Every structure is written in structure tokens, then in C-alpha cells.
Structure 1
């Protein structure tokens, strides 16, 4: 068994030096400005193909992807997602969907009237996780081709309208969107929590994970102050408090149940 690095060396051990894959992962930034240069069909196929090779629970592959390139449709989706203009600017907008419809349809002939649980809470989780795993594989593949991406959770702001616009059947819901294209410039990389806050040894360390946020608050204050010219230096914990105090997308439970999810 290899020796684990001392906690003080965790960040150094993860810098990706000498490893192209790690280096690519450690350089990730969200891109919100794109060149007008289009993606080729070969690039899109490579990106989706990489997504398909992600891990999937029991090989159910319970997700689908909708590639949107029509300007008018991208404009409609941008409006529904909170007027995020980069959805219109990017050459390809991918909508990643948890999809249990396909599974239900193709398994039904084999069940011969037996009970089926595609609408269970567990299978909802499986489909959502499958979509996320495939999307992250695709994101890394896109970045390896010199492209940039940004995830769009705002696709769930008016999720019923988005679903109708995209023709999503029962047991399919849009988990998030993803803009893909050639970056127009590159923003600075946002600091992450210290590794000691998220990496626990053998048991969950409730005290340590909270204590680590103190240093991160200071780091984020410095980052935001530098980025905004001193206008904003709000600590991360205060930003998160504001977020948790907002009733964001409380329609999701009713919508998902109306689409046939989480019935059992």
C-alpha cells in the first residue's frame, strides 16, 4: 500500500505536474464568452462518445443529451434560464437529461405484467447521477480539444416550459445545460475549499470540515476583492448563507412527481 501524503502536502500532490490529464483537470474554469467559431460534427461526436464511456449504475445508461444549435431555440432557452446570453453565444448548447423513459419502454415487453420500479426514488437518483457522470466526462473531453464549457443550472428555473419546448416525455427531465465552444479569453480560476475540508480519513471529521472554512473565507475575500477592485470581499460562508436563505426552485419536487419520478 502506498503511503498517504501528509496533510500539508495535499495541495502540492494534486497540482498535476508531469501528468497531462491531471494538469487539464486542475486548470478547469467556467467559460462564459465564446467565439463564433462552430464545432465540427466530429468534435461533438467525440465529446458525447467520451460522455458515454463514463461509469453508469448497472449499465442502465439512464440519460439522454439534446444538442441545440438553432439560434432561435437557443434564444428561447436562454430566456427561460434567466437570460443567460452565453447560451445564445455558444455554438452548441447541450441539455443533459435524466432519462428513465427509454428504460421503461424497452423493458416493458420482458416484464410480462410484473411490477416495475422505474419510478422509484432510487432510480431517480441513479438517472440523475448517470447524467452528471456522463456530462463531466464530456466536459473534460471538450477541454482536451481546446474548448471551454459552463454548466447551466438555470435550465431548471422554468423547467416545465423547457421540457415542453424540448419535447421531453414522461420520466425524462433536464438536469442541467452545458454551453460548449471556443473560449473568448479566460477568466481567473476561483479558489476551492482546502482539501482538508473535503477529504476525511476513515471517519467523517465534523469539527475539521467546519474549521477549514475559516481559512477559505479569508482566501475568498482576497480573491473577490482583487477581482472587483475592492468592491466585494464577502466571505464564502456569508455567500452560502444568502443562497440558502433564498427559496430557489421550490417547484422541482412537484414537477418531478408530475413527470412520473419518485412515485415509490
Structure 2
């Protein structure tokens, strides 16, 4: 097995970091460069990354996200922004129309581009022996974060990435059975028993932060009345009617 495959297959999330560790600037720059080199639709690069090193800003983010104290404790926090402001500038330069809120497609483009850049950053950090964890809950406070960081119109916070020196070793979390996720040539039906078996696998894994069976957690999430916060933010930002 080559080193890249080994790195990818052993990736895990870390939430406990050495608060005194400072990432060398050269490593941080390499992580950012790797993120920017990710695949992108049309090479449009419909995202931006805000590098948050300011402790006060990160303290405010933790105040809004108390379940994610690692935002402050990590060496750096990268905030990934769906960015359709840049393409608006291009459209204005060409004096062309910009019906950005007529379809969900632009939002999908920006989200996908940002996610690809995020994963490149994750693997780049791992290559330096650093740990990281993705923080998606920032979307719950997208409006507040937009004001705090002075995000322009047609931009929206998507997710963050805490990067630092881990102080607690983590195990590689088991994934769903391959046959429930990987399909060849067409979608292949599978029996629910495979999900039940995964529930048992995760119970045996016994991650302390998990308080429910995997299937119950997923069921509860989708049974809850959906939050419209992201929809409201996209409307405010001129990206959704």
C-alpha cells in the first residue's frame, strides 16, 4: 500500500488539541496551497477560505457553537465560504446578466467546490502529522458569522476545519458496509440487515460521544422539523428566491 492510500484509509477526526502548539507558517501555507489545487467545476473555484487565527473571533464562534470548543483550542481554524461574489464581479465586468437566484445549481457548485478544497486541506494536514475535524454546525449561525466577518453579498459560510496537534489518540471509525455504498453499473438493492449489522459495529466501537444507535441518530435527524436558517441566509445573500 502506498503512503497516500494509507493516509486516506487511516484518516480520523480529532477534537482535542494542544492549545500551545503553533503550526509552522510553511506548513499552513502548504495546506492552503493544497486546498486551492482541488478539482473545481469549470475551474470556477467558487469558494473562499478565511484563515482564523484571531483568538477573539474564535472565542465568539465557540460561544455560538459551544459543542465545538476545538474551534478555539486548535492551532488554526479555516472557514470555507461558498463564494459567488467573485463571479458577480466577472459578470459585471462583462456587463452580462447574473440571475444567480433562479436555480439551486450555483449553490451546489459552490458547495461542491468548497467541499473538495476542504478534503484536500484535511489530507494535507494529516500528511504533516497534524489532526483536524470538520465543523458543519457553523451554518446554524451563518447570518451572525456573515456580519462578524463582513462577508459580501452572494457568499455564505459552509463549514469550518480545526487543525492542530492532537493530544488524544483516536481510532479509525468504521464505515457502512461496502455493499450499501459502492455500486457497479447500476444501483444495487441491499437488505436492511446490513444497516442493523452496522449499528452493532458502531456499538462495539463504542465512541464516547455517541449516545444513540447510528440508525436512530439518522432517523431522529430527518424526523426533526427542518431548520430554515440556511434557506433564510441564502435569501438574504441573494442566492435563493
What's the counterpart of residue 98 of structure 2? 116
What's the counterpart of residue 147 of structure 1? 130
What's the counterpart of residue 10 of structure 1? none
Q: Which runs of 5+ in 2 are unaligned?
A: none
TM-score, length of structure 1 as denominator length: 0.85
Residue correspondences, number: 239
Identify the match of residue 118 of structure 2 among 135, 151, 171: 135
Identify the match of residue 176 of structure 2 among 159, 182, 193: 193
Tell me, what secondary structure is at the counterpart of 1:239? helix
Identify the match of residue 198 of structure 2 among 210, 213, 216: 216
Tell me, what secondary structure is at the counterpart of 2:171? coil
TM-score, length of structure 2 as denominator length: 0.92
Deviation at 1:68, TM superposition (A): 0.6
Deviation at 1:233, TM superposition (A): 7.8
**Whose RCO is larger (CA < 8 A, sep 6+)?**
2
Q: Which runs of 5+ in 1 are unaligned?
A: 1-17
Does the aligned pair in 2 maintain the 1:62–1:126 contact within 8 Å? yes
Tell me, what secondary structure is at the counterpart of 1:97? strand
Tell me, what secondary structure is at the counterpart of 1:237? helix
Q: Distance in 1 between matches of 2:137 and 2:112?
A: 18
Q: Distance in 1 between matches of 2:191 and 2:153?
A: 40
What's the counterpart of residue 44 of structure 1? 28
What's the counterpart of residue 163 of structure 1? 146
Does the aligned pair in 1 maintain the 2:156–2:233 contact within 8 Å? no
**Deviation sequence 1:157-205 (CA, Å, 0-9, x none):** 2211111111111110110011011111212222110111101121112
What's the counterpart of residue 156 of structure 2? 173
CA RMSD of aligned residues (A): 1.9
